Amino acid sequence: MVIPCIFLRIWGDYMSQINHEYINNYLVGLIPQHEDILKELEGYAEQHNTPIVTPDVAGLLKVMVKSVQAKKILEVGTAIGYSSILMGLSAGEDFSITTIEKDEDNAALAVQNIKKVGMEQNIKVLTGDASEVLDHIEGTFDMIFVDAAKGQYMDFFQKSIGKLKVGGIFICDNVLFRGMVAERSLLIRRKITIVKRLKKFLHYISNIDSLQTTIIPMGDGVSISCKLKEVVFDD
Ligand code: SAH
Ligand code: MG
């Protein structure tokens, strides 16, 4: 089977420290390629080194959106709108996605791409640092997807978990950070702070009784937490 080299390259960069190459190659070969705007955005992301979700994580998001029948989704880290559009396509009619992006150029591109697929009524892009923007977001969501600055995941969690309905799903991408979170020898010096914070975050979400969490060594690592009851913070 011919595996498109764009997929292999995206995977190869991130994933070789998490899964065996032959597993990645096999799995990516199973996933049907996108034929729509998503394919176009994958091409753009490849050219511009935009870190969109990998094909396996894209598949996971589709399954999650459909299985929890998510209609109201909050996303942190829009980039060019790839994952927003992907989730929108899975959500069916009458969905709404609020997505936050701090990079103005990315946000503008995302708005353009969202218009192109006619989802501008459904997907709202908020430009700004999610640490600030999250404080001003109202409403309750069925699903939250965090895919932004890894050192701030705890902060994003604290500022958004109260907006997730009980029974809703909280997903984070890149939580294994090229394997560095699990294995010291992979650690790059200048990433130590981010890795420490990620480890603390993963320990936290894995151990509080208001969440049921699983961490999947897929892509760059994905955490999935089901909110069982309201989360109470000590401080
Ligand atoms: N979810 C996207 C990819 C996001 S890439 C997709 O799969 O299609 C991560 C994005 O998060 C980048 O565009 C970056 O600018 C943005 N980001 C990083 N830190 C942020 C923050 N604190 N607030 C908002 N956006 C942030
Ligand atoms: Mg990511």
pLDDT for the residue numbered 6: 52
Mean pLDDT taken over the chain: 93
Query: Which residue has a Cα nearest atom 13 of ligand 1?
Result: 79
pLDDT of residue 2 exceeding 60, the answer is no
The pLDDT tens digits for 5-57 are: 555 555 555 556 898 889 988 998 999 999 999 999 999 999 999 999 999 99
How far apart are alpha carbons 120 and 177 in whole angstroms? 32
User: Is the C-beta atom of 42 inside 6 A of ligand 1?
Assistant: no
CB 169 within 8 A of CB 142: yes
CATH number assigned to the domain covering 2-227: 3.40.50.150
- CA 14 – CA 58 distance, rounded (Å): 15
- Where do the structural domains in the chain lie, given as residue ranges? 2-227
Question: CA-to-CA distance for 154 and 152, rounded, in angstroms?
Answer: 6
Task: Answer whether 103 contacts ligand 1 (Cβ < 6 A).
Answer: yes
Q: What is the pTM of this model?
A: 0.94
153 lines ligand 1 (CB under 6 A): no
Tens of pLDDT, residue by residue over 110-152, are: 999 999 999 999 999 999 999 999 999 999 999 999 999 999 9
Those residues whose C-beta lies under 8 Å from the C-beta of residue 47, and which sit 6 or more positions away, are none
Taking only the tens place, the pLDDT of each residue in 189-226 is 999 999 999 999 999 999 999 999 999 999 999 999 99
Per-residue model confidence (pLDDT) at position 134: 98
**Ligand 1, closest atom to CA 82?**
8
**Which residue puts its alpha carbon closest to atom 6 of ligand 1?**
52
